Structure 1
Amino acid sequence: MIEGMKKQKIIIMSNQGPALTRLFSATVIKELASSGWSGLGVKILKDAGLSGVFDPSTTLRSFFDTIYDALFHSYRSEYIYKNVIAQKILLGIHSLNTSFMLTEFRSALCRADVVLLNGTSTVYEIKSAYDSMGRLSRQLQAYRQLFDKVCVITAPSQVENVKQHIADDVGLLVLSDRNTLTTIQEPSSMKNSVVPSAIFDSLRRKEYEEIVRMRFGAVPDVPNTRIYQACHDLFCTLDPVDAHDSMVLVLKKRGGSKRLNEFIESVPSSLKAASLSCKLSAKEQSRFSLLLNSVIGDCLSIC
């Protein structure tokens, strides 16, 4: 057994990385939050050959931080990038009181890795050292239709490759081996040219109805089967800036609750992005926060 989890460092092989990244998935977090135990988490650790490596008296909080640290140094997955954005940009530069972060946001035919909402919108497309550039041009074109600022965040080894696929108005950030973010190219504002119809199709019904009510006074009084088209037609009369700013206003409401903010603040640094993307009830958030101080011998059974 390894003593003193706070001092513990583990080394993982790159082929273990994809599996261990799943420890930060919504499924594992949801299992732990709902029942205090994760069958998937146990299986991941067993398959990775890490059963028995950790002292069973190690807290779940320290366990996640140690796995995250090992992933950062040996397999910098997409989750690592999302978590860095959450820590260094959302929480480091902005504030949960005025900003929110969405992950895997549906946009046109793509899913945006990270969207940061404050006074405006910034989308971050992640291209790790393991990603190809095959879809990058199509992804960026889709993002231009919705967001004010478009950025790519990548690894040092991918910088020159990314540069060949982006225009001068797309931002470029690099995550270094020292866990620092460096801006290579600043993004330009694009909200004057967003496409209202694309924005509309990315919203939930209650969101586009709220915008229509806010901008036009009321939702059209039509049969339920015609609500979508009636709202769509009105929304598309908005100029690009009004459509964009209305989108930002309603999307920020997906977060912004005091309860969610307190939950995000309660989790360790390794779980900031996971806490934002997991859809936990108030009861589950409370249970998970308490569970983080429990020992892994109880909730992962890996001793």
Structure 2
Amino acid sequence: MGKNNDELNRMRSYSSIFSSTYFKRLLKNNDYSFINDKIVHYDKNVVGKRINTYNDYIRFVYGELRKNYRNEYVYKNTFINELVLNKYGLSDTNVINEFRVGNSVADIVMFNGTSKAFEIKTELDSNKRLRGQLSDYRKIFKESYIITHENLAEKYLKEDDSVGVIVLRQTQRALKMIEIRKAKINNKICPNTVMQVVRTNEYKNIVKEYFGVLPEMNSFNMFSICEEMIERIPQKDLDKLFISELKKRKTNTSRIKIYQKELKQLGLAMNLNDVKYSKLLEVLNEPIKL
């Protein structure tokens, strides 16, 4: 990215601010140390001028990352602002941050009338694990997408022609996300993988919904009995039942639109309800005290 070492270190340091762990600590203990450390180290001279509150500083840092160091947080946040809200929509949709499938963790997954997995490959990332990740996602998701910078589009378009590609484009005023290739629909779903990714109540619901009744079982044999029954469900039906269960999972997807644009991904990752989000804004709007 053409940055000297000091500038690169500053950007890397900034990128650690948007951490769920730090923000949970801020909410619980009013612990501003993770923000204060950055201000003391890099930005004491701007405090009291255009930056007065912690929220001012968060917006400033996000703007710096957006221009100079587009890390995974910036990609996820732009994806939510640009595509989830403007293209896919929130009605009848469940968006889940970081979803484990096999040996992989999809960055964002989405369930509505279909199931989609999104794997982010920023300019800072390697693609060495990509084939394994896509192979895992195909076991349960109908559509898989790679999200990357437009300068890397050609590389990822050649990777796997069944995978959709979404690119991040830098305009003069903002970041945009554009889907340049739609994913091919995958109609296969692996029952064993379904059993690994769903919760106990979810796999029991799938069995009951399809067979009409739950068999007699106890805590020792429940998993194996349900797995054997789920293996007997036709793939098309299992796919619908799987999507239906994951759409019921409790998330804060419907609230995403009310979150401040820099904090949408953080709100999703922390699964903030309205009360906690109001508290977060309250503590961030405090004047900076060093």
| TM-score using structure 1 length | 0.84
Residue of structure 2 equivalent to 1:98: 92
Residue of structure 2 equivalent to 1:50: 43
Instruction: Count residues with an aligned counterpart.
Output: 281
The separation in 2 between residues aligned to 1:272 and 1:204, in whole angstroms, is 26
Letter of the aligned partner of 2:180 in structure 1? I
The DSSP-based 3-state class of the residue aligned with 2:96 is: strand
The separation in 2 between residues aligned to 1:238 and 1:53, in whole angstroms, is 62
Residue of structure 2 equivalent to 1:81: 75
Letter of the aligned partner of 1:68 in structure 2? Y
Residue of structure 2 equivalent to 1:202: 197
Residue of structure 2 equivalent to 1:156: 150
Contact persistence 2:207–2:214 (CA under 8 A): yes
Q: Does 1:288 align with 2:283?
A: no
Contact persistence 1:220–1:227 (CA under 8 A): no
Note the 1:157-176 alignment, pairs <5 A.
157-166=151-160, 168-176=161-169
Q: Does 1:275 align with 2:267?
A: yes
The separation in 1 between residues aligned to 2:249 and 2:109, in whole angstroms, is 12
Shift of 1:280: 4.2
Q: Which runs of 5 or more structure 2 residues have no equivalent in the other structure?
A: 1-5
Note the 1:120-139 alignment, pairs <5 A.
120-139=114-133
The separation in 1 between residues aligned to 2:217 and 2:170, in whole angstroms, is 56
Q: Which runs of 5 or more structure 1 residues have no equivalent in the other structure?
A: 1-11
- The equivalent position to 1:188 in structure 2, one of 181, 184, 196, is 184
Contact persistence 1:112–1:125 (CA under 8 A): yes
The separation in 2 between residues aligned to 1:133 and 1:186, in whole angstroms, is 20
Letter of the aligned partner of 1:200 in structure 2? M
Change (3 A) 1:39 1:189: same
- The equivalent position to 1:228 in structure 2, one of 218, 223, 232, is 223
The separation in 1 between residues aligned to 2:249 and 2:56, in whole angstroms, is 29
After superposing the two structures, state which structure 1 stretch, 57-66 or 98-107, moved more: 57-66
Change (3 A) 1:282 1:227: farther
Q: Does 1:142 align with 2:136?
A: yes
The separation in 2 between residues aligned to 1:206 and 1:240, in whole angstroms, is 20
Contact persistence 1:100–1:116 (CA under 8 A): yes
| TM-score using structure 2 length | 0.87
After superposing the two structures, state which structure 1 stretch, 216-225 or 123-132, moved more: 216-225
After superposing the two structures, state which structure 1 stretch, 231-240 or 12-21, moved more: 12-21
Residue of structure 2 equivalent to 1:253: 248
Residue of structure 2 equivalent to 1:8: none
Residue of structure 2 equivalent to 1:108: 102
Residue of structure 2 equivalent to 1:266: 258
Change (3 A) 1:261 1:64: farther
Contact persistence 1:267–1:289 (CA under 8 A): no
Answer 1 or 2: higher relative contact order, Cα 8 Å, separation at least 6.
1
Shift of 1:93: 1.8
Identity of aligned residues (%): 26
The DSSP-based 3-state class of the residue aligned with 1:176 is: strand
The separation in 2 between residues aligned to 1:212 and 1:30, in whole angstroms, is 37
Contact persistence 1:34–1:284 (CA under 8 A): no
Letter of the aligned partner of 1:277 in structure 2? A
> RMSD of the alignment, in Å?
2.3
Change (3 A) 1:22 1:252: farther
The separation in 1 between residues aligned to 2:274 and 2:225, in whole angstroms, is 36
Change (3 A) 1:225 1:175: same
Letter of the aligned partner of 1:213 in structure 2? K
Residue of structure 1 equivalent to 2:3: none
